Structure formats: C-alpha cells, structure tokens
Amino acid sequence: MAYSDKVVDHYNNPRNVGSMDKARSDVGTGMVGAPECGDVMKLQIQVNAATGIIEDAKFKTFGCGSAIASSSLATEWLKGKSVDEALEIKNTDIVNELALPPVKIHCSVLAEDAIKAAINDYKTKQGAPAPAETASH
C-alpha cells in the first residue's frame, strides 16, 4: 500500500512522542484500542487550569503507519487549543489532512476517540461531571 507523504513524514519523524505522569491533576490520559485489533493509542494532554488551554500533548501508539501518523498529528493540533476547541477535532479532519485511504479511516476514528478520552479524563480529575465512557465503536 502506498502511503501519503504526510503519513510517511509523521512515521519517520513522529511529533511529541512520550509519556506524562498520569497521576497529575492537570494531565488527562486517553488510551483506546486493543492489541488484538492491531492498534492501541495512548494520548495525553497537559492543561493550564487557569486558561483552559492545552499546553502540551504526548502520544504513544502501537499500530500501523496511519495510526501512528493520526495520533502524531492529533498531538500537534491539540497544543495551544482550549479543551472545548479540542473537542471539535473530527476524524474526517485527520483523514483529509493525511489523505488516508478508506481502509485506514478507523485509524482516524481511533485518534478522535483518544482525544475525547484524554479530555474526559482531565475533566473528571477537575471534578466536572463526565459523560459515560463511549470509546468503543
């Protein structure tokens, strides 16, 4: 399968790889997917509680090149956004940006789920009533 230049670039130079201390109250962690399905994404955000702005984002992904690229791109987009703006990121934005073929759309869906799970985790820590976990699809 041929990959788009952007997927190859994110694969070769993944942005924001790493882990944050998930015990911290200003860090939200989202982990979605399953090893049996061939992809697991862990996405973390660090939020400035005063401004509500995501100041840092990190990821680690087990999955194909498109899954790695989707989560790498997601961390780029998250930085500097408010939590509410971050919730606006749609999987179709990722599909368009990375030119993902139809068989790889699930990678972008997983990235969107990871963003939502991370924000959900952060909000829960902040004491906001969190909606039920609905990462499965």
Partner 1 sequence: MSKPIYFDNHATTPVDPRVLEAMLPYFTEHFGNAASRNHAYGWAAEDAVEKGRKQIAALIGANSKEIVFTSGATESNNLAIKGVAEMYAEKGNHIITAATEHKAVLDTCKHLEKKGCRITYLPLKGDGLIDLDMLRDAITDKTILISIMYANNEIGVIQPVKEIGKIAKERGVLFHSDAVQACGKIPVNVAEDGIDLLSITGHKLYGPKGVGALYVRRKNPRVQLTAQMDGGGHERGMRSGTLNVPGIVGLGAACEIAQREMPEESARLRALRDKLRATLEANLEEVYINGTMEHRLPNNLNMSFAYVEGESLLMGINDIAVSSGSACTSATLEPSYVLKALGLGDDLAHTSIRFGLGRFNTEAEVDYVAQKMIDVVNKLRELSPLWEMFKDGVDLSKVQWTAH
Establish if 106 lies at the interface with partner 1 (CB under 8 A).
yes
CB of 65 to partner 1, least distance (A): 4
Site for partner 1 in 4-33 (CB under 8 A): 8, 11, 14, 17, 19, 31-33
Any catalytic annotation for residue 37? yes
- Work out which of 49, 99, 103, 128 binds partner 1, going by CB under 8 A: 103
User: Which residues, in sequence order, are bridge partners of residue 56?
Assistant: 46
**C-alpha–C-alpha distance, residues 13 and 51, integer Å:** 30
- The rounded distance, in Å, linking the Cα atoms of 87 and 85 is 5
Distance CA 109, CA 104 (A): 9
Where on the chain is the footprint of partner 1 (CB under 8 A)? 3, 8, 11, 14, 17, 19, 31-42, 60-65, 67-68, 103, 106, 109-110, 113, 133, 135-137
